[in-house]
Structure 1
């Protein structure tokens, strides 16, 4: 049933108009965030600009002004702008510095995975006592089958969600409801992470965490950028864009060749999402950017490579926000509450483990999003701390692809047992 508050059709359906609107929103946010008046300075102290880039498009979507479902902008941004941005954000990275961040990032990633794997069954078990009708159903309508697709999405991303859909075969109506739960709950948590990035020093103080390795890496990259900074020429800008999209093209070419070959000749590798072309696009683009960081292409950072990469990433943020319709919560409130409990268990485990090992909030946030958001949003959260840290999110997201199908399958079986 469609919520009455939503318009029957979005006000703007032309993607050129929608893109213009999104860019207008981004420009307004960045202009106001740089105004030196007390009001705007105080406003952006409490509300991070990145959070607004994500949240305002979601309001427009909820009000029926634009539609994330009917627009192709997210697909274009995730397939073209995301890999291009990863190339430009990794081109000046200190790879040795990333390795020196230590094991806490990996520990927090797996803590997040465990939180999803056990959070689903615990939420289903709880609801079987307090609201059994929410987790009932038989055959293709069995709710645990639909929840398996959420588990797949929250441990790796869309490719793993599709894998769970194929394995457990929920009905189309149930799957549609679960996609809504997935998007809304995951994006609410993303909003909290983006806000937390803005107050990470206070959170680190509470965790008694030593964030100095992250600060040192950030300062090292900032110093390098300052040493090579120059006013970009047309040649510089053309070269930057060419490098980004040629590497993106190589990623797409690799994905188009490798994924179908694996699907036909080594189908067992589909459990690792290796038959997903999107997986190979991201891996090849990131690897290409890291490889270029050891060449003279690294100097492109002086002309603003990471700034262009960040712009691409912010456009992706806006298109992700455009997919979220908060009013859809009222269509399946029981499913939404179950998803909320599930994510809170994930958060609880993250914070407990983070407190035990004194992990910086950066590792908690990126470890969580590498599971729940995958390669599409893990670098967004990482770049909220600093654009140069985006590759850390990508590298952890690759782990999510690798363990996602196994973790989601185990979670689904546990949910079946407690249903």
Structure 2
């Protein structure tokens, strides 16, 4: 148990540095996306923020009391920002796409259940891996943190792996859907 006191100075420093890094990463994500259009600017931003966070966490700065609290707050803010841009009013306008989405989720569930049985995965690993593939970088760490705060980095790594594998997979499924419609 960490006995150091949690001070406002530490919290303000951590919040300020996190906003600074996220602002720089957002600008860098736009620049990298224009040079390397493999991912969109949002994905590049998430990758840059995550890489920077992992690097900074290994320095003495990552040992400051309050990093866990601030990182959880920032993660919830990202989730809220993503959810605030969702538009569900037009869901019924594309029934084929909606049906295809449900079919993909059913296939995902079947694959996760089969893999869990074959290699004897625990429910935590299955849930985080599933959410890393379906929900992405914003939701997998939250679920991992619900089990234990020490597992948040594993959730982030699973989510990034889900992005790396899922982006080309999603592009392929999008191509297949363009052949249908």
The TM-score bracket by the shorter chain reads: 0.7 to 0.9
Select 1:260's aligned residue among 10, 18, 34: 34
Alpha-carbon separation, structure 2, partners of 1:324 and 1:364: 29
Select 1:345's aligned residue among 107, 121, 135: 107
Partner of 1:375: 137
Give how far 1:414 is off: 5.3
In structure 2, list runs of 5 or more residues that go unmatched: none
Select 1:240's aligned residue among 4, 11, 14: 14
Query: Does residue 1:293 correspond to 2:57, yes or no?
Result: yes
Instruction: Report if aligned partners of 1:370, 1:396 keep a CA contact under 8 Å in 2.
Output: yes
Select 1:408's aligned residue among 165, 170, 176: 170
Instruction: Report if aligned partners of 2:11, 2:70 keep a CA contact under 8 Å in 1.
Output: no
Alpha-carbon separation, structure 1, partners of 2:49 and 2:35: 19
Partner of 1:362: 124
In structure 1, list runs of 5 or more residues that go unmatched: 1-225, 264-269
Alpha-carbon separation, structure 1, partners of 2:104 and 2:19: 38
Alpha-carbon separation, structure 2, partners of 1:243 and 1:299: 14
Matched residues, number: 180
Alpha-carbon separation, structure 2, partners of 1:362 and 1:341: 24
- Higher normalized contact order (CA 8 Å, seq sep 6+, divided by chain length): 1
Give how far 1:336 is off: 3.9
TM-score by length of 2: 0.77
Give how far 1:348 is off: 1.4
Alpha-carbon separation, structure 2, partners of 1:386 and 1:254: 32
Alpha-carbon separation, structure 1, partners of 2:43 and 2:97: 29
Per-residue displacement from partner, 1:350-406 (whole Å, max 9, x unpaired)?
011111101122222222222222223222332232333222232233333333343
Alpha-carbon separation, structure 1, partners of 2:175 and 2:42: 27
Q: 1:280 to 1:328 in 2, by over 3 A?
A: closer
Question: Which structure would you say has the larger Rg?
Answer: 1
Alpha-carbon separation, structure 1, partners of 2:120 and 2:168: 28
Give how far 1:417 is off: 7.5
Give the secondary structure class of the aligned counterpart of 1:376. coil
Q: 1:283 to 1:331 in 2, by over 3 A?
A: closer
Alpha-carbon separation, structure 2, partners of 1:355 and 1:307: 35
Instruction: Quote the RMSD (CA, aligned, Å).
Output: 3.1
TM-score by length of 1: 0.37
Q: 1:330 to 1:305 in 2, by over 3 A?
A: same
Q: 1:319 to 1:249 in 2, by over 3 A?
A: closer
